[in-house]
Amino acid sequence: MNRHLVPLFISTLTFASLSNAAEDNKRSSSTIVLDENGVKNLRIETTEVEETDFESTIFSLGRIQAIPNNVGAVSSRISGRIVELKVAPGDVVQKGDVVVSVESRQPGDPPPVIPLTAPLSGLVTRVELRLGDPIEPDRPVLEITDLSEVYAVARVPEHQAGLMKPGTIAHIKVAALPDEKFDGELLRFGTSADKQSGTLDAIFRLPNTGGKLRADMRAQFSIVMSKREGIVAVPRAALQGEGGNRFVYVKDFDLANAFVKTPVTVGEINDRFVEILTGLLPADEVVTRGAYSLSFAGASSVSLKEALDAAHGHEHAADGGELTPEKKAEMVAAKNGAASGSVGSGKGGSPIWMYVSGVLFVLLLISLLTKKRGPVEDESVPTKSHDKEVA
């Protein structure tokens, strides 16, 4: 081999060794390995990364309101007093059910009793009178509200309201029902803007399946302004970190119960998903539930070395890298109690420093040999030339 290529060859091997060692150390520091109990205790759940339709949304606050045309009153056509009251606030009634009985003031023995029925199906939202109270035709007895559909009214800044059209969809969350999600469709805007806040009421029609929504409940709106297709995204719960230090935990493809801290670059964030620009590929499995807890897991209950040994059926280095002859020699030297100044003694030594020291020693030998041989070759040339001149 050309003597000038030897240092280059040695340096290349050294760089490769150092790179592999760095990668092994990086994997070891970024991988958290749990046992089965650890996974259960942290309630780890994962989801597969996939390309999806990503929605660009704006955030707004508002409240739930009853639809005015779905509110009815029960009243009497005659004067009298209430002798039977069959409902209370919160009761559900059907159209035609008898809800109140009124004793007429007309003479009779006994006086005639007139039943009052519900004008619509719904929830009894208000009762104005008590049993035995006098009643007049101009005074309602109770109120019934049909809540099968409601209005969700969002207070939207004027400049954003101008970008919305009827039919716009909003994802709505209600503070009283944190586990429920509702989708509403924009019907129209309010008749005037609020002068102080500079907002306009955006009125969404919202199905109330199950009747859980009530008037005046506080609501949060994520109003969909646009949609893009084929975007790599993950649930918001998977994203950890702040600012430029964003990361997710990816389930290791090789090891059971192992999760790799993976830096990512994010794009837009909406109420449900985070757009991932770099760092993940479709089919990666990211941790959603339990991701925050993993950040504080600290030293894992199972080391990366132990997990790799069990998975591959052979021994690995402490940092999780493949056990090369050099690393194996280090381990043997450490077990046998190497000399205090050796790399394996633990007094300031490391695998990387061992590689660097070895390379420097080899380069020093090559340099000495090269300098020793060089002058001999150079002196031979002028000697021959001098002989010719003498002849």
Q: Where are the domains of the chain?
A: 68-145
pLDDT at 254: 79
Chunked in runs of 10, what are the mean pLDDT values of the chain (391 residues)? 50 46 54 84 90 93 96 94 94 96 88 94 94 92 96 95 93 92 94 91 94 94 94 93 90 86 93 93 92 71 49 50 61 56 47 69 76 53 46 39
Q: Pick the closest to residue 151 from 224, 55, 217 (CA basis).
A: 217
CATH code for 68-145? 2.40.50.100
For 7, the token pair is 């240092």
pLDDT at 296: 77
Residues in the chain, how many?
A: 391
Contact 136, 98 (CB under 8 A): no
pLDDT at 323: 56
For 157, the token pair is 């800044």
pLDDT at 42: 87
Q: What is the pTM of this model?
A: 0.63
d(C-alpha 153, C-alpha 18), whole Å: 62
d(C-alpha 84, C-alpha 98), whole Å: 10
- Helix, strand, or coil (residue 180): strand
Phi, psi for residue 292 in degrees, rounded to 5:
-65, -40
d(C-alpha 263, C-alpha 235), whole Å: 16
